Structure 1
Amino acid sequence: MSEENTTYERLINWLDENDARYELIDHQPEGKTDVVSGYRGHPVEQAAKCIIVMMKLTKKTKRYVLAVVPGNKRVDLSALKGLYGGIYAGFVENATAESLAGSVSGTVLPFAFNGEVELLVDPGMLKHEYIYFNAARLDRSLRLHSDDYERLAAPRVESIAEDEPSHVSEHGGADRQA
């Protein structure tokens, strides 16, 4: 069984054991927040965009943060630096993110199952009745009641989201947080 499937099974078992109210949604394989939100049929701001950030607190001390923001926003790295008193905040490489999350890029869960990662959630994620996210798989998502998410994840809640830029990058590509 792949690590991705192990993470998926762990998630489903954990949600069931904790009486979470959720629904599974099968769809075309996709990891981009805006595209998969369309497949799932909900506004993109209800999607959990999950990004692992490496914070350098000193030259020799670092911490990993799982930043969860609404799908129509992006992670505000300056806000993260300020919250942690860090000297640097940046997105981790895909291989590091996948190792820490136990799933492939585009399927990072909004839960910190890895003790090396601290969960930080923007309050905008908790204002809707449901949150949506890929369930550690590109072809299956979850619709989870927000109050169950907050109860189970027990996240630190801080304002860490900022608006997406209204232009395409100079290279014509999408933002890395997609």
Structure 2
Amino acid sequence: MDLIFSIDPGNVYSAYSILDIEQGLKPIRFGKVMNEEMLKVIEEEIAQIKYFPIEMVASYGMPVGATVFETCVWIGRFIQAVTERSKVNPIFVYRKDEKMALCHSMKAKDGNIRQALIDRFGVVGTKKNPGWFYGVSKDVWSAIAVGVTFYDMNLTTRYLL
């Protein structure tokens, strides 16, 4: 199984998704957990993972607060957890790349990215009739966007959807 484990990191909580390439990037596991818990999720899942994209912060010339630097520390800890336990190379995905790959506009917001994913893969669904993204909420959309963007930018010549 070829799986993508993607993370939308935060300073306290981070969202993740595990996308199955063979099922057309279907999210097979996902969630938003405290960062300490994310280290455990990485440890549990890393043996199955082939690709590990993680959203990286970027400077656009504006001042940032402590939470951005705390997020950077966690990005480093997640990368360390992956590289210590596997031969998987973490890949940085930047938010600007997500916006351009999924929405073709730097002006895209979270709602635009969510809608672009729904337009591409299908509806969220309901409990009675679960769709492609049933159960996905909030930052998990961003984690999925990281994985899909990584795929689009790096793997589309190797796999056919």
TM-score (norm 1): 0.30
Compare the two structures and name the one with the higher strand fraction. 1
Structure with the higher fraction of residues in helix conformation:
2
TM-score (norm 2): 0.32
